[in-house]
């Protein structure tokens, strides 16, 4: 009886302890949640630097510590909030990892998984369950990284591309520097928490712009679900589901091109997304936000961008810089030759402007390209709106052909080429000769007429004198 009584006491104590533990945990969680909500509210009051630009559409307040909305093609920054602050990127790091993978390896490459690649990832880190000695194709690895956010796959790709993770990290930092990143330092290939692993919203937007300029990476980065089938390299059949709600359609949004999620306790929620509408291809980076606000922030910023800005084609709108005469014999109106050269703006160049602004509202500067033979650009016109760079136009030499390339070979033997310069010389010589002949003829005529008149006068005088001498006839 004493034993049973003692057991009952222990059970009651354990039960009470469990209740206390649950209540304590709940209290801690509630307190933590309150702290996070308070922190988000404080971040929402942080200044938005783009709102200080005169004539610029006012951007929305969001709870992220830092955020940027940037046009991929022109680099125009539409929304700016603490974009140069150094923060932890978490798994959005993997955008750089995949970018370097496609630049330095082939999709059908075999990527082997080493013991270090797998076991350097903490037990609670995101992974897809690969074992040492297994392998995947590089293409499968890209989906494992972008869809499943697999840390061990990122490590394996790093080892495959550079021979070691450390060498790959050097490559990451070199690439970041080449893209213009100034507040970035990578310490791993997957984004696991490291005090020496950081970037900024602006730098990550530069990296993402490069990523989303690649058609293959756009396809991989916009995959909601991927199926891994058993293969010689790994025996399992499984699916990966993307956690990016704008990609899965859980939060519908038109024009999504792709993106990547990220999270660590210190980084909080991070998100990179790209969308395209109306000729604008925008990348949005959100740093240090609370779930699910990273998605709603992104939607808010995309709406702000697509509703308040427009693209302006420079070739269509620019009225200066290109000479209007552009030479009659070297223009697209040349009727004497089948091909000619003329200056024009590149057809694909455009600027991003507020919807109520025009190109005439911008300030432009000219820079001349000394390497025009390689670039094809004679000069570059850089446009800014109240100090904000909004795009560039490139002056190029174009060739206008009045004969289609398909028919050129068929009719080239039948074409008659006219040398305009030679024709003008011949016409000038012939005209001069004709004028000389006319002048000479007039001189001769005038001389002949003058001699005949004097002779007649002389003859008449002689007749009169002879008549006087002879006197009247009887």
The architecture that CATH gives domain 45-307 is: 3-Layer(aba) Sandwich (3.40)
| pLDDT above 90 for 353 | yes
The whole-angstrom separation of Cα 61 and Cα 48 is 8
| % pLDDT > 70, the chain | 74
Residue 101 CA to residue 120 CA, distance in Å, equals 20
Q: Which tens digit of pLDDT belongs to each residue from 74-123?
A: 999 999 999 999 999 999 999 999 999 999 999 999 999 999 999 999 98
Confidence of residue 182 (pLDDT cuts 50, 70, 90): very high
* Catalytic positions: 91, 94, 149
DSSP β-bridge partners for residue 239 = 227
Instruction: State pTM to two decimals.
Output: 0.76
Instruction: Report the pLDDT value the prediction gives residue 470, as an integer from 0 to 100.
Output: 60
Q: Report d(CA 120, CA 187) in Å as an integer.
A: 13
In this prediction, residues 60-72 reach a mean pLDDT of 98
Containing H/E element for 258?
A: strand 256-264
Dig out the tokens for 219 from the structure.
Answer: 């396809």
**Chain position carrying tokens 């074409």:** 415
Domain boundaries, the chain: 45-307, 318-404
Give the ranges where 242-377 is alpha helix by DSSP (H): 245-248, 293-308, 314-317, 372-375
| Residue 186 and residue 158 in contact, taking contact as beta carbons nearer than 8 Å | no
Burial class (CB in 10 A: 0-12, 13-18, 19+), 205: buried
Q: Dihedral (C-alpha) 285, 290, 295, 299: value to the nearest 10 degrees?
A: -70
Which pLDDT does position 382 carry in this prediction? 93
pLDDT value, residue 410: 46
Is 50 exceeded by the pLDDT of residue 344? Answer: yes
Mean pLDDT of the chain: 84
pLDDT tens-digit series, residues 284-343: 999 999 999 999 999 999 999 999 999 999 888 877 766 655 543 344 444 444 455 666
Distances (CA, A) of 21 to 16, 18, 24, 258, 405: 9, 5, 5, 42, 81
**Does 5 score more than 60 pLDDT?**
no
Question: CB within 8 A of 93, min separation 6: which ones?
Answer: 186, 188, 189, 190, 191, 197, 199, 262
The pLDDT tens digits of the residues spanning 376-433 come to 667 889 999 999 999 998 887 766 654 444 444 443 444 454 556 666 677 778 777 7
What is the C-alpha separation between 398 and 231, in angstroms, rounded?
52
């Amino acid at each position: 009886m004493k034993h049973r009584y003692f057991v009952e006491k222990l059970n009651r104590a354990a039960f009470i302890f469990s209740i206390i533990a649950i209540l304590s945990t709940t209290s801690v969680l509630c307190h933590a949640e309150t702290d996070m909500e308070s922190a988000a509210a404080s971040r929402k009051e942080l200044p938005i630097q783009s709102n200080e630009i005169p004539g610029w559409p006012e951007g929305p307040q969001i709870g992220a510590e830092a955020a940027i909305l940037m046009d991929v093609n022109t680099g125009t920054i539409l929304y700016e909030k603490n974009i140069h602050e150094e923060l932890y990127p978490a798994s959005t790091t993997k955008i750089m990892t995949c970018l370097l993978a496609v630049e330095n390896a082939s999709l059908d490459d075999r990527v082997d998984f080493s013991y270090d690649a797998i076991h350097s990832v903490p037990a609670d880190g995101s992974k897809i369950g690969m074992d040492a000695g297994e392998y995947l194709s590089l293409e499968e690895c890209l989906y494992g990284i972008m869809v499943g956010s697999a840390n061990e796959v990122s490590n394996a790709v790093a080892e495959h591309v550079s021979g070691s993770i450390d060498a790959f990290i050097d490559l990451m930092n070199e690439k970041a520097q080449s893209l213009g990143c100034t507040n970035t330092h990578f310490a791993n290939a997957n984004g696991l928490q490291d005090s020496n692993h950081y970037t900024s919203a602006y730098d990550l937007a530069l990296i993402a712009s490069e990523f989303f300029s690649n058609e293959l990476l756009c396809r991989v980065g916009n995959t909601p679900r991927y199926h891994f089938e058993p293969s010689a390299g790994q025996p399992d059949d499984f699916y990966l589901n993307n956690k990016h709600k704008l990609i899965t359609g859980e939060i519908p949004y038109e024009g999504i091109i792709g993106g990547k999620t990220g999270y660590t306790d210190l980084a909080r929620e991070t998100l990179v997304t790209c969308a395209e509408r109306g000729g604008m291809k925008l990348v949005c980076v959100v740093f240090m936000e609370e779930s699910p606000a990273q998605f709603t922030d992104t939607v808010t910023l995309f709406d702000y961008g697509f509703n308040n800005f427009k693209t302006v084609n420079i070739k269509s709108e620019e009225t200066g810089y290109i000479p209007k005469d552009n030479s009659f014999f070297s223009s697209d109106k040349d009727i004497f030759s089948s091909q000619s050269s003329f200056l024009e703006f590149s057809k694909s160049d455009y600027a991003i402007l507020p919807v109520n602004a025009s190109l005439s509202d911008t300030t432009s500067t000219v820079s001349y390209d000394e390497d025009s033979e390689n670039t094809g650009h004679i000069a570059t016109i850089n446009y800014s709106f109240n100090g904000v760079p909004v795009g560039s136009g490139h002056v190029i030499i174009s060739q206008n052909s009045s004969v289609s390339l398909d028919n050129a070979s068929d009719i080239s033997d039948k074409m008659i080429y006219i040398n305009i310069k030679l024709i003008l010389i011949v016409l000038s010589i012939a005209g001069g000769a004709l004028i000389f002949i006319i002048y000479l003829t007039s001189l001769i005529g005038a001389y002949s007429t003058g001699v005949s008149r004097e002779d007649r006068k002389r003859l008449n005088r002689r007749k009169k004198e002879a008549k006087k001498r002879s006197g009247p006839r009887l």
